[in-house]
Structure 1
Amino acid sequence: MTTPSEPGGGRLDPGLSVIMSERRKLINLAYRLLGSLADAEDVVQETYTRWYAMTPEQQDAIESPRGWLTKVASRICLDLLGSARARRERYVGEWIPEPLPDPTEWITGRSGDPVDRVTLDESITMAFLVVLESMTPAERVALVLHDVFRYSFAEVAEIVGRTPAACRQLASSARRRLGASQAPATPAAQQAGIVRDFKQAWEAKDIDALIGLLDPDVTAIGDGGGLVSAGLHPIEGSEQVARYCVDVAGMAPDLTILERTVNGQPGLVLQLDGITVAVMAFEVTGGRIKHIWGVRNPEKLRPWTTG
């Protein structure tokens, strides 16, 4: 889990170097809360805008600037989460959190600065982020701040606007959702092998091999955002998912499939003419693929592309 950055202590020199050191923690926090790097960047920008809008005297009056920055960023995220459901209802097709590459594979661009890179751990897997999407905004904030960033419930309560006891209950409810939704972790090496076998079977258009790698109740979800073609509804069942993959390969004979780290776990990147057109994340359970998330929305592929 992410190491806390002394949420309750220490003066924050508003100098650039210290500001940037806080920026990375805030990016990490906002991405986990929102599932979108673009939105996280906007939140952090707004947080610093509010900091610098204050007079030096007002800044000096803040006992813990680090805590202030976290509180403001979290409250902005909470407001955004409150309106997210309405925005998702207008979203074309399924909405999937924005996938992130391994830090060593992060392509320089608008989000290429090392301070903007998100630390990858168990709280950043696609399966974890998808479950977060099912929570209420308050549950999500309470869980992430307390369980991931190690803030006390008293500090969480100040941000969420509820009592510490209520925040404890919110976090407990969120944990129950996680427990009911998440399968036992599969060792990374085993998951990498299964994803590799899936890639090879897909390239060979071997439907039987694909079916053998998929859980009978597998679900595949695509996210095109209405900007590129993608299934508007989940595809369920091993045979249906296998046939869909073979159909995609047939429609794009020049498709290149690469093994890459996606949100800290083995995944695949699809390229045409050297351009990333999709990023795929997987959840493996009992030696078979249980969930597939394929992001095609180009607005969510910025860290994977140049320009």
Structure 2
Amino acid sequence: MAEHDWLSERFAEHHDRLHAMAYRMLGSPAEAEDAVQEAWLRVTRAGTGQVENPGGWLTTIVARVCLNLLEARRNRREESAGALPPEPAEPQARIHPTGQASPEDEALLADSVGVALMVVLDTLTPAERLAFVLHDVFAVSFGEIGPVIDRSPAAARQLASRARRRVQGAAGASQAARSAKRDIVAAFLAASRSGDFAALLELLDPDAVVGEVRGGHAVAAFFAGRAQAARLALVDGVPAAVWSHRGLRKAVLTFTVDDGKITGIAIDTDPDRLRDLDIVLLPAAGEERR
């Protein structure tokens, strides 16, 4: 009983870090929670023996569970390689690099494995992914990583270095695109607030769609003067807009941008979905330097 209490206390102490680690390795909050629960089951079945470093011990267990899940995921993809892949969703991220970083941007940039890079991480082997995430994000030594992925510390270092180069390349490519999208969304909101019909038309694709409203002219007319309460935001890391009423978020507007033009705007008002979104409100143009 005393050992079980000790395990429960240590697991609770490290739970948040273990969940964050699993999330960054797996890219799914649900899978991360499953991995942490599976790790707890393994912990309760294992004898603590002479565990001198509970945090490191628990990290190893969670990492091995994640490795198994990643390998199973990869095997499933290989088995279904003959099928047509689904249409790729727009990458979503917790990071939004800009040339002039606001405090919100800097906080998001600190997360070097944001969801935006999950697309790149998914192209890595499970061993590369674990080596990179464990070392670069959670400062786990290569001496500890090696046994988890059945490699030497030197081999683990090489895997992390290879993954890092690919992630950095993807981050650089995504920075410009996301910065440009933020500018487009900010300009759209400004034009909508002021009722500048010509500016709205300039930003919209001629075939833009918003629900049942179709065509650039119709969409511009729909939004002219209507975004007074909308704020520029990062929604799951992607530039978007949030409309609030009396401090409560009532709607999220997400934008599809193609070749510098807005081709579609989706308006989500479902309160359950809104609660699950990661929303960071951003300053409007000109507010960053105040």
Deviation of the 1:133 alpha carbon: 2.0
Deviation of the 1:182 alpha carbon: 2.4
Deviation of the 1:45 alpha carbon: 1.4
Consecutive unaligned residues in structure 1, runs of 5 or more: 1-11, 102-118, 211-241, 283-287
1:304 pairs with one of 255, 263, 277:
277
Q: Normalised by the size of structure 1, how large is the TM-score? A: 0.57
Deviation of the 1:98 alpha carbon: 7.1
* Number of residue pairs matched by the alignment: 229
Query: Among the aligned pairs, what percent are the same residue?
Result: 32
| Counterpart position of 1:125 | 114
| Counterpart position of 1:267 | 239
| Counterpart position of 2:288 | none
Q: Normalised by the size of structure 2, how large is the TM-score? A: 0.60
SS of the residue corresponding to residue 232 of structure 2 reads strand
Q: Is the 8 A contact 1:260 1:269 kept in 2?
A: yes
Q: Is the 8 A contact 2:146 2:156 kept in 1?
A: yes
Q: For each residue in 1:116-159, what CA deviation from the matched residue of structure 2 results, as whole angstroms up to 9, or x when unmatched?
A: xxx95332434333321221211111111111111111111111
SS of the residue corresponding to residue 94 of structure 1 reads coil
Deviation of the 1:43 alpha carbon: 0.9
| Counterpart position of 1:182 | 171
| Counterpart position of 1:28 | 20
Q: Measured at CA, do residues 34 and 269 of structure 1 come closer, stay the same or move farther in structure 2, by a change above 3 Å? A: farther
| Counterpart position of 2:287 | none
Consecutive unaligned residues in structure 2, runs of 5 or more: 96-106, 279-290
- For residues 222-237 of structure 1, what are the structure 2 equivalents within 5 Å? none
1:70 equivalent to 2:59? Answer yes
SS of the residue corresponding to residue 30 of structure 1 reads helix
Deviation of the 1:193 alpha carbon: 5.2
What amino acid sits opposite 1:47 in the alignment?
A
The answer to which structure, 1 or 2, has the higher relative contact order (CA under 8 A, 6+ apart) is: 1
2:41 pairs with one of 49, 52, 61:
49
Q: Is the 8 A contact 2:135 2:142 kept in 1?
A: yes
Deviation of the 1:22 alpha carbon: 0.8
| Counterpart position of 1:148 | 137
User: Aligned partners of 2:89, 2:180: CA distance in 1, in Å?
Assistant: 28
| Counterpart position of 2:48 | 59
2:29 pairs with one of 34, 37, 51:
37
Decide which structure has the larger Cα Rg and report it: 2
Q: Measured at CA, do residues 248 and 32 of structure 1 come closer, stay the same or move farther in structure 2, by a change above 3 Å? A: same
Q: Measured at CA, do residues 40 and 172 of structure 1 come closer, stay the same or move farther in structure 2, by a change above 3 Å? A: same
User: Aligned partners of 1:97, 1:35: CA distance in 2, in Å?
Assistant: 12
User: Aligned partners of 1:266, 1:98: CA distance in 2, in Å?
Assistant: 6
| Counterpart position of 1:197 | 187
Q: Is the 8 A contact 1:132 1:140 kept in 2?
A: yes
Return 122-131 or 29-38, whichever deviates more.
122-131
User: Aligned partners of 1:168, 1:66: CA distance in 2, in Å?
Assistant: 21
Root-mean-square deviation over aligned CA pairs: 4.5
1:209 equivalent to 2:203? Answer yes
What amino acid sits opposite 2:186 in the alignment?
R
Deviation of the 1:200 alpha carbon: 4.7
- For residues 74-93 of structure 1, what are the structure 2 equivalents within 5 Å? 74-85=63-74, 86=76, 92-93=86-87
Return 30-39 or 253-262, whichever deviates more.
253-262
Deviation of the 1:268 alpha carbon: 1.8
Q: Is the 8 A contact 1:33 1:144 kept in 2?
A: yes
